Chain A
Amino acid sequence: MKRNICLFGLLIFLVVLPFFSGEFYVNLASQVFIFAVFAASINLLLGYGGLATLGHASYLGVAAYGSALIGLKLGLGHWIAAPAALVGTTLMAGAFGLIALRASGLGFLMLTLAMSQVLWGTAYRWVGLTDGDNGLRGLTRPAPFGIDLDSASAFYWFTLAVTVLSVWLMARFVRSPFGAALRGTRDQPRRMAALGHNVWLIRWITFVYAGFWGAVSGLLFVYYHKYIHPISLSLTNSAEGLLAVIAGGSGTLGGPLAGATIVMLLKNYASAYIERWNMLLGFVFVIIVVFMPEGVVPGSKRIYLKCRQRFASRA
C-alpha cells in the first residue's frame, strides 16, 4: 500500500513537471525516460535472464535507422514507419537470438558484441544507405491522433506515457509464470531443464522481447533527436545501458530506471564541470562494479550500515 502511494505520488510529480521547470529540464527528463526504457530492456536479459549482453544498442540503432530511412527514402508516414521499424527490428532480434544463444556466459557476450559491431561498422561504411558519418537528419516526430509533438512538453508527456506503458508491460511479463520460469533458468538452468522446461526457448523469447523494447527506445530516441548517427550503435552506448542497469541494481524493475536517471544526469551535469568526463565514467564503472555490485541504492545502504556497525562496535 505504502509503495503504491509512493509510486502514484511520483507519477503525479512527473506529470506536472513541465509546468514548473524550464524547457531544458523537460527535455532532459525526456532523455532520461528514453534511456530508462533502453536500460529496462537490457535488464530483462541481464537481471531476469542472467544473460549479459554488450550489443543491445543494435536494436535501438536499427529501429531508429529503420524509422528514419522509411520516412526519408520511401516517404512513408510514421503510422507505417513505426510498426515497420518495430517489426523489422524484432525479427532481427529473433535472428540474432538464434546465433547468440548458441553460447552462454562469456561466449554469449562476445557474440552479442560481435553482431553489434558488424551493424555499427555497416552503418558507418554503407554510406549510400545511411550517409555514414553525416548521419540522417531532417527527421520528424509523429503526430499521434493529430497531436503535435514538437514542443518539449508535448513530447515529454508522450515519452512519459510510453515509458509507463513499457514498464507496466515489462512488469507483467516478469511477474507472469513465464517470468518465473525465466528467473529459474537464470538461477538453475540445469534443474529447469531436468524439470522439462525448454531453457533455450525461454531465453530466446526473452531475447526477442528485450529486442522489441530496445526498438521502442530506439523510436523514442530518433523522435526526440530527429537525427540518427552510427555512433548510437556503438559499444559505448551498449555499455552505458549496462552500467545504468548495474548502477541501479539488476534483477528489479525499478533498478534500471533509477540507474538510467543517475547515469544520464551524471553525463549531463558532470561534463559541464569536469573536462575528463570519460575518465569519470570509467571510475564510476569500476567503483560501482567493485564496491556496489548489487547497485547504488542497496550498495550504499549496505556500506552505510557497515560503517554504522563499525562505529557502534567501537563506541
Chain B
Amino acid sequence: MSFNRRRFVQAAGSSGVALAFSKNIFSQTNSNVIRLGLMTVKTGPLASGGIDMERALVQYLRERNNTLAGRKVELLVGDSGGIPAQARTKVQELVERERIQIMIGPLATGEALAADDYIRQAQLLTLSVAAAEDMTQRKPNPWFTRGTSTSSQCAHPLADYCYKTLGYRRMAVIADDIPYGHEMCAGFQRVFEDLGGKIVQKMFPPLTVPDYGSFLAQLNPKIDGVFLGFAGSNGFRYLRQFNEYGLRGKVAPVGGMTALDEAVLRNMGDEALGIITSCWYSAELDNPANRKFAAEFRKEWKYDPGFYAAATYTEAAVLEATLGAIKGKIEDKQAFMKAVRGIKVDTCRGPVQFDPYGNVVGNVYLRKVERKDGRLVNSVIQTYPDVSQFWTYKPEEFLKNPVYSRDWPPAKNLES
C-alpha cells in the first residue's frame, strides 16, 4: 500500500515537472536580446569572490544601460557552490534551459575543467575567469578564452623582478597543495632559476590546514625571500603567523596574484605593509576605465574591487569590443572566436589582446602594499607590458615541456 502511494507521488511529481518544462518548448525568446550567462559561486567558501564577480558585471552593464554594441543584454546568473559537478550541471542549465549564447566564468579551475567537454559539445562561447592552464595550452578548447591569467602568467614576471630588481638569489616557495599552487610555483621557479637564482625549498601545505606553524618552523632561514602561491584566505593566515614567528624583517615574503587580493587586504593590518605581489590588476591602476570602475565600485559597496570583480569587468569589456567588431552578430560563433583573437581593448586592467590559444596578453603589475587614505592598497610599483602565458619562451618549446606541476620543472637546488 505504502509502496504504491510513494510511486504515485513520484509519478505525480514527475508529471508536474513535465508540465512545468513543457512550456519550455513553446516559450519564445526575444531574438534581439543577447542572453549572457554568468557562472559564479555564491554559496560556500569561494562565495566572496563569486559575489564580487556578479557585482562588477552588473555594474558594467548598468553603466551602459544593459546595451552592448546596439543590442540589449539579459544577464542570467548561475551558482555552482564551488562544486565542479554542479558547475557543469549549472552550465548545462544555462545553455539548455535559459538558452544563453555566451558565458562569463566559471570561477574555479576545477569547475572550468568539469565543464570543458560540455563547452566543446555545446560550442558555448566562454570568457573565463578560471585559470586552468591546459585549456589554453596543450588541450586548447576552441570556444574558450580567458581574460584573466593562467596560474603562472603573473608568477613569471615576479620571479624576474625578484632576481633583477630586488637582487634575491635564494628563495623558497610555498603554496596550497593543489594544481593551481603547483603551477604557480613551477612558473616562478622556472624563471627564477633560468636567471641564475636558486629555489632551495618547496612546500605545499594541505589546502585546509588550520595552522601553518609546522611549515613556518621548517622554513629555511638562509633565504632572501619566500614566494607565496596561496589562494583565498590562506595567504592572509600564513602571513599573520609568519609575523608571529618573528620572521618579519628576516625573510621577505612576495606573493602571487591571489595571495594578497584586495578582498583579503581589507581585513589585514600593518603586517601586510610593504609586501610585494604581482597580479594583472590593482584597484589603484591609473587608467580611465579603472578610475571610473574602482571609484563607482567603492562608492556602491564600500570596498575596493579586487581580482574577481576586475575579472568580470574586464571580460565584459572584451565582450563589448568583440561584439562591436562583428557588428553585434553573436549568433555567428566562429566569427566571434576569430574576432576575439584580433581585438585590442582598453579595459580596467589596461590594454588587452589575445594570443592564438585564446589566452590574454596584457600588463602584469608589481604592487606593493601601502597605506593610503587610511586603508591598505596595492600600489603599483612596476608594470610589465604585454605579458603572455608563455613569458619570454617560444610557445612551441613551452608546449613541448610537460604541464607545470609539483615536479616539473624539477627542483635541482633543494636543500633540506
A residues contacting B by CB (< 8 A) are: 2-3, 6-7, 9-10, 13-14, 17, 20-25, 27, 31, 124-125, 127-128, 131-135, 137-139, 150, 225-227, 229, 231-232, 248-249, 252-255, 257-258, 261-262, 265, 268, 271-272, 275-278, 297-298, 301
| Closest Cβ–Cβ distance, residue A31 to chain B (whole Å) | 7
Interface of chain B, main secondary structure:
helix
Query: Which of A10, A137, A252, A265 is packed against the most chain B CB atoms within 10 Å?
Result: A137
Chain B minimum-CB-distance residue to A133: B178
Q: Please give the residue numbers on chain B whose beta carbons come within 8 Å of chain A beta carbons, in ascending order.
A: 2-11, 13-15, 17-18, 21-22, 24-25, 42-44, 79, 81, 83-85, 88-89, 92-93, 95-97, 109-110, 113-114, 116-118, 121, 132, 139, 177-180, 182, 206-207, 405-407
Given contacts A7-B7, A229-B110, could you give 13 more A-B pairs where the C-beta distance is less than 8 Å?
A6-B7, A27-B89, A127-B177, A127-B178, A127-B182, A135-B84, A227-B85, A227-B88, A254-B7, A257-B6, A258-B6, A261-B10, A271-B43
Q: Please report the C-alpha to C-alpha distance between residue A226 and residue B115 in the assembled complex, in whole angstroms.
A: 9
Complex partner residue of A225 from B18, B85, B406, CB under 8 angstroms: B85
The answer to whether residues A138 and B177 also contact, given A13-B14, A21-B22, A254-B6 and a CB cut-off of 8 A, is no
Does B2 lie within 8 Å of A268, measured CB to CB? no
A268 contacts B93, C-beta separation under 8 Å? yes
Residues of chain B with a CB closer than 8 A to A127's CB: 177-179, 182, 405-406
Minimum distance in angstroms from A154 CB to a CB of chain B: 13
Q: By the criterion CB–CB under 8 Å, are A138 and B85 in contact? A: no
A residues less than 8 Å from B18 (CB atoms): 17, 20-21, 25
User: In the complex, how many angstroms separate the beta carbon of A135 from the nearest chain B beta carbon?
Assistant: 5
Residues of A within 8 A of B44 (CB): 278
Greatest chain A CB density within 10 A among B109, B179, B206 is at B179
CA distance A301 to B2 in the complex (A): 11
Q: Which A residues are CB-close (under 8 A) to B25?
A: 20-22
Does the CB pair B7–A125 fall under 8 Å? no
Q: Would B109 and A13 count as touching, CB distance under 8 A?
A: no
Taking CB atoms, residues of chain A closer than 8 Å to B139 are 138
How far, in Å, is A42 (CB) from chain B's closest CB? 17
Q: Are B6 and A137 in contact (CB under 8 A)?
A: no
Task: Let me know if A134 and B4 touch, CB within 8 A.
Answer: no
Cβ–Cβ contact B132 & A27, under 8 A:
no
A selection of 12 A-B contacts at a CB cut-off of 8 Å is A21-B18, A24-B21, A24-B96, A127-B178, A127-B179, A137-B113, A137-B114, A138-B139, A227-B85, A252-B6, A255-B6, A278-B43
A253, B88: Cβ atoms under 8 Å? no
Q: Which residue of B lies closest to A151 (CB)?
A: B121
Question: B43 touching A276 by the CB < 8 A rule?
Answer: yes
Q: Tell me if B84 and A6 are in contact (CB < 8 A).
A: no
- Is the Cβ of A9 less than 8 Å from the Cβ of B110? no
Partner of A125, one of B95, B97, B177, B405: B177
